[in-house]
Structure formats: structure tokens, C-alpha cells
Structure 1
Amino acid sequence: MKRIIVLMLVVLVAGYSYGQKKPKINQAEKARSEGNLGEAKNILDEAIEHEKTKDDGKTWYYRGLLLASLDTTSNPEYQSLVDDPLRKAMESFAKADDLEKGNSGFYTTDAIGLPVTKEQQIETLWSYYLNKGVENYQNDENSEAYKYFEKTTVVKPQDTTGYIYAGSVAQAGKEYDKALKNYYHLINDLDYKGRDTFYSVIYIEGVVNEDSEKALEVIRKAKTVFPGDRDFAKSEISALVKLGRQEEAQKELETAIAAEPDNANLRYTLGVMYDETGNPDKAKEAYMSSLEVDPDYLNARFNLAVLYY
């Protein structure tokens, strides 16, 4: 009797397994291309669980296309089907590549039968978000613009364009934390060598956040990236003065003067520094050298007169 029961269970299980038909993933892609995103999702939800399709790279490729479509659709019926669809789309594409290592590549065909590769589809997706960001920025919709620029960084995380635009838009909207998040990713993680980005970080840290130590740290990083840039050298002097580190500032000033001997302002600044630290003779010497470079430099002449008086 027990043997009969076991045999019946085996038959039932076999029948159940047989009853679970293999999901037709090509039908899912057809539904997606025709705009039936709900139908496509149902098929692919089954496919990523089914024994015969869950390890098929094409399943995850089609799922990536579907999730990207869910993120870009204007149809409210589909907009809330999946949370964070774009990030999940990129994860699906990555899994598809991992499962099909050595594959010649994934593609679909367009309306006239020409192949459209996954790389082309990703590039089109990236361009879509970038253009939407620019469009919103031009319409003074900074928050929306930021959202789209941020999406470009999800699609192509190694491309600097989206981070630059996102940081600039956030800074323009005075969302400084968001700006710094993008700028720091550029200079720390992507080794981006953009002067404007460094200047923006120095400004936000030093002026907006009033954190001269952090600003000085970024200035010194900028100096290693742009060793011949005199503006960063001058910024370092200003930061050191704000921090009360006069001796360091003095040394940097002397180095800057050696690099720019005709810069009367640097000589004047050195005079002010000597003046404030109680060294009037050195201050007079620096003011005089400033006037030798520029006889009409009013500030140096005034300070010199005060010292003599």
C-alpha cells in the first residue's frame, strides 16, 4: 500500500512539473515591443524562476529591456509595476553578460529587420536620460533635470558626463550636498581632471560649508593634479591664512612669488602677513617690493605709510 502511495506521489509531482510549461521568452519580447509591458513582465517573472530559462542569458537580457521600458514609459498603468526599474535593468543586463560569457552579443531587430545590439540600446537609453535632463534644465526644472542626469550615471557609471551635469544642476539649485556627492565621485573615483570641478568643490567646502580644512585638502589634491596652476597655489595660501597657519602660508607665498616675481599682489599679501604677525621691518620690505613692481599699488602704499606713521 505504501509503495502505491509513493508511486502516486511521483506521478503527481511529475505531472505538476510537466504542467509547468517553459515560459516563452521570445513572446515576452514581442509583447514588450508592442507596448504590452504587463504581459511581458508576467512572462519574464516566470522565466527567471523556471528551471529551463532562469540561467539563460537571453531571459535576463529581455528582462533588462523590459525594466528599461518600465522606467521610460509614460503609461501610468505600468509606471508602478516595479520599484527602481532602471537599476534592476542594468543588473539584469550584467547578469545576462555573466551567464553568456563568450557569446557574440545580445540583440533584437528593428521594424525593418536590422539588428540592434544591447550596446546600442544602452547608448540610446543613456542619450534619452541625458536629453531629458538638458530639456528640464532649459525649462528651469532643476530637480527633474538632476533626476535624469543621475539616471545617466546608472546606465553608464564610468562616464563622467552625467556626474558633471548632475553636480552643476545641483549647485545651481543650491543643493550643495548633491553637488558634492557627484563632484567627489568624479575626482576621487573616476580620476576626473577638471579644473572647474575642483574649483566648485573648494568653493562649496570653503565658502558655503565654511570648512577651510576640507577646502585645503581639496586644494592640495588639485595642486597635485595641476602642479603648474598658480590659482590653486594662491587658494592654498588663502586657506592657510584662514586657518591661522601663518608660517605655512608664508612659505607658500614665497614659493608663489618666486614663480610670479611680477605679481605685486602676492608681495603685498606677504607684507600683510608679516604686518599681522608683528614683524614690521619684514612687512615694510614686502610692501616696498610690491611698489617696485607696481608703483601705483594703492594698498601697499597706504599700509607702508601707516607703518611709517
Structure 2
Amino acid sequence: MKTRLFIAAAMSCTMVAFSQKNELKSAEKALKSGSAAEAKTALDSASSLIDGADAKMKAQFHFLKGETFAMLAKKGDAAAFNTAIESYNEAIATEETSGKVKYTPEAKQKLSAMTADLINAAVEDNNNKQYKPAADKLYMGYKLSPKDTVYLYYAASSAVNGGEYEQALNYYNELKDLGYDGSEVKYTAVNVASGETEEMDKTQRDLMVKSKTYKDPKEEKSPSKSSEIIKNIALIYTQLGQDDKALGAYQDARANDPEDVNLILNEANLYFKLGDKDKFKSLMAEATALQPDNADLFYNIGVVNMEQGNIEDARAAYNRALEINPGYVNAQLNLSTTYVNEGNGMIDAMNSLGNSRADIAKYDELKKEKDGLFQKGADILEQALKLNPDNQGILEQLKNIYGALGDNDNFMRLKKLIGE
């Protein structure tokens, strides 16, 4: 009786193994015909029994699963990439344990090819503004090929573009920990026939120069990306409202690139937000000392002060920007707006007055002051119009000021200039 049971059990095991082999053959056949869906169905049927299979069959199963999901990924199933990678690696690990190698070389080759597929798919996602999937694929590409750290850098950029700030922060911090530099050396030479400077790899460039068809070989190293990475970490902490971490990141960034004016302005804004106006002012002074003739810098300082209600400081900055660049339209518009806004701020006080003789006198005084501010705003734009006679922003704002002043002649003049 015991003998019969043993034989029956042995027959059962043989039938299970036979069934698994059939499913794996079906999967292979489906893959050859290009049907990933049929291959997946066959593998699903075999999966529940694969844990009890021998190492050879396990390796075959995982390799075929890798092939199946790699095919699904190529057909547009982005989620299939990860399963394909895991399956190929499982096939490799199984053969490493057993010591019998059959699928490992091809699995490694497939993983290498998949890196290219992931990067190409990520490029397409970015072109279609699908930034989160692009970031995920670029990160998977980096994990498959850790030597290509540039994939991690682009993964972080894609995450930022998609508003996935925490994901981007993780990637940037990983880049920082790796000491990623990102600079590259470009090799160029001048084509003797065309006179054009051309870029090529070093070996080809040297051969071309040696053949005398090219001349003037040069090597140019692109700037390091380490400053940008540290700066982005600081900016993301600010975006996430993690002010303490942001300040620490700004200190790191400033230590790495102490003369980055935009970085100084961002740090200054954070100090203003935290209520440290003295630090805010000292950083602003530091920025202008570094670039005293940068009109854009003074314009940005004007914008910051204007947003924070520091009207006189804003006007001083806009005026300095206009000293450097008299035709700076946005500085002209904003400088005019500071006077209009100040005039508008007096209207509530005017409307709150009563009908007494004193109130009427006060009203007339305030109106005169308000109209004087409006006129200052108009005068600035009249000067701006001389340099930029067709600028629609100037024309519209000037028309609105004259309308508020009740200056109908100038109001109609501006309407005609606009073409209304």
C-alpha cells in the first residue's frame, strides 16, 4: 500500500513538472509570434507552482517573464518596465545560486538594452509633458546603469517640471551625496574646407587634425552642475515650506557659489518671510555690490520691495535700473505703478470724510495729492513712450491714468494711438 502511494505521488510530481514545461513552451512560442499577452497568460498558469520547481526551470520562468514584460513595456505599458527588470534580475540571481548558467548572459544583455528603451520612452514622455512618468523611467534607467548618473540628474529635472517636488528633492539629494559634477569636455576642431568649428569625440578629432583636414583643436569643459543641484535643493525646501532646512541648504549653496546673485535674492526673500528684515537688507546690499551695473538685478530688487510694501526702496531700485538701461520698459511700468498705487491708497481716506468745511478742505487736499501722484506716474510713462512709442503696455497704462485724472484730451489721444 505504501509503495502504491509513493508511486502515485511520484507520478503527480511528474505531471506537475510536465504541465509547467508545457506552459513555459507556450510562453516561448507566444513570444516568438510577438504575442506578449498570450505569453503572460501561459506564465500566469505556471507561476503558482514555480516555487517548487528546480533551479533550471525557475531561471527559465523568470527569464521568460522578463522577456514578456519587456515586450509589454515596448508596446506602451510603462508599468511593465519594473516587472521586466525584476524578472531578469531574478533569473540571474537564481543561476548564481545554482551555479548553472544559461540565461544570465542574455538577461544582462536585455537589461542593458532596456536602459535605452527606458531613456527613449522618458524622452517621449517629456516631449508630451508627461513629466512624472518620465522621471520614473529615467530613475529606473539610472538604477539599471548607475555609471550614467546623468539619468538621475534628468530624472530630478523632470520631477521638478511635473511639480513632484519631494521626488525631485530625493533625486537631488542623491546627486549631492554622490558628489555629481555633471561637467563635460567638448572636443572641437575647425573644418579646413568649410571654416566651420565642429564638435566630435576626442579620438575622431585627433585623427581629423592629424589628417590635416581639420585644424585648431580645442577642449572646452562645461560648467559644473553641483552649484545648480545645491541651489535646487534649497529652492525646493522653500517651496515645501521647510524653512529651517531651506536656510541650511542656502548656506551650503552659498558656500559652493558665493557670488550667485539669484541665490542671494532667494535667500533674502526667505529671511524677509521669516521676519528678519535686517538680514534681508544686508543680502540685498551684498547682491548689488557684486553686480552694481546689472539692470535686471535692480529691477528684481524693485519687484521684491514692491511686493513687500517697501515703496521708497522699490522706487530707488527701479530708478537705478533705468539709469543703467533707460529703455527698460518693465522698470518704467512698475515705477509708474508705485505712484498710481500710492494715489489709489488715498481714495479710501477721501471717501471716509464727511461734509463739514474741514472735511471738504481735507478732501481737496487729499485729491490734489492723489492727482499729483497719478501725474507723476503719467510723466514717467510719457518719457517711456518716447523710447518705446509702440509699446502696448505703456499705452494702455497711460490711457488708464489719464482716465482716472479726468484728462479727456490725453485720454482720447492715447485711445487713438492704441487704435481703439
Structure 2-normalised TM-score? 0.46
Q: 1:245: which partner in 2?
A: 276
Which deviations, in whole Å up to 9, do the C-alpha atoms of 1:55-112 show, x marking residues without a partner? 74444233222222233336xxxx7xxx94332222222223323339798769xxxx
Identify the residue that residue 302 of structure 1 maps to in structure 2: none
In 2, Cα distance between equivalents of 1:38 and 1:224: 55
Does the CA contact (< 8 Å) of 1:29 and 1:62 recur in 2?
yes
Structure 1 residue aligned with 2:34 = 35
- The answer to whether structure 1 residue 187 and structure 2 residue 164 are counterparts is no
Q: Is the 1:71–1:85 contact (alpha carbons within 8 Å) kept by the matching residues of 2? A: yes
Structure 2: distance between partners of 1:215 and 1:155? 29
Structure 2 residue 148 is the aligned partner of structure 1 residue 152: no
Question: What is the CA–CA distance in structure 2 between the aligned matches of 1:32 and 1:221, rounded to whole Å?
Answer: 53
1:142 maps to which of 124, 129, 133: 129
**2:116 counterpart of 1:127:** yes
Q: Distance between the aligned counterparts of 1:53 and 1:38, measured in 2?
A: 25
Alignment correspondent of 1:66: 68
The partner residue of 2:15 within 19, 24, 27 is 19
Q: Residue type matched to 2:266 in 1?
A: S
2:103 and 2:158 map into 1 onto residues whose CA distance is 35
Q: Secondary structure at the match of 2:17?
A: coil
- Percent of aligned positions that are identical: 20
Q: Is the 8 A contact 1:129 1:149 kept in 2?
A: no
| 1:86 pairs with one of 73, 78, 81 | 81
Say which one has the larger Rg: 2
Distance 1:10 1:105 in 2: 33
Deviations 1:126-175 (A, max 9, x none): 3223323333443xx323x5324422323433455555445544544xx4
Residues 181 and 160 (structure 1 numbering): CA distance in 2 closer, same or farther, change over 3 Å?
Answer: farther
Q: Is the 8 A contact 2:156 2:172 kept in 1?
A: no
Query: In the alignment, which residue of structure 2 is the partner of 1:235?
Result: 266
Contact kept in structure 2, 1:160 and 1:186, CA below 8 Å: no
Q: Of 26, 43, 51, which residue of structure 2 is paired with 1:49?
A: 51
CA distance in 1, matches of 2:74, 2:117: 9
Question: Is there any run of 5+ residues in structure 1 with no aligned partner, and where?
Answer: 109-115, 274-286, 288-293, 299-309
How far the C-alpha of 1:29 sits from its partner, in A, is 3.8
Q: How many residues are matched?
A: 254
| TM-aligned CA deviation for residue 13 of structure 1 | 1.0
2:10 maps to a residue whose letter is A
Letter in 2 for 1:124: A
CA distance in 1, matches of 2:102, 2:129: 36
State the distance in 2 between where 1:161 and 1:31 align: 37
Whole-angstrom distance in 2 between the partners of 1:214 and 1:134: 32
Q: Residues 182 and 127 of structure 1: is their aligned pair in 2 closer, same or farther, counting only changes over 3 Å?
A: farther
Distance 2:291 2:48 in 1: 74
- The aligned counterpart of 1:215 is 246
Q: Secondary structure at the match of 1:101?
A: helix
Partner secondary structure for residue 49 of structure 1: helix
TM-score, normalisation: structure 1: 0.59
> Structure 1 counterpart of 2:118, which letter?
Y
Shift of the 201–27 alpha-carbon distance from structure 1 to 2, 3 Å rule, reads same
CA contact (8 A) 1:198 1:222 kept: yes
Following TM superposition, by how much is the alpha carbon of 1:7 offset from its aligned partner in structure 2, in angstroms?
3.1
Distance 1:136-1:148 versus aligned 2 partners, 3 A rule: closer
SS in 2 for 1:142: coil
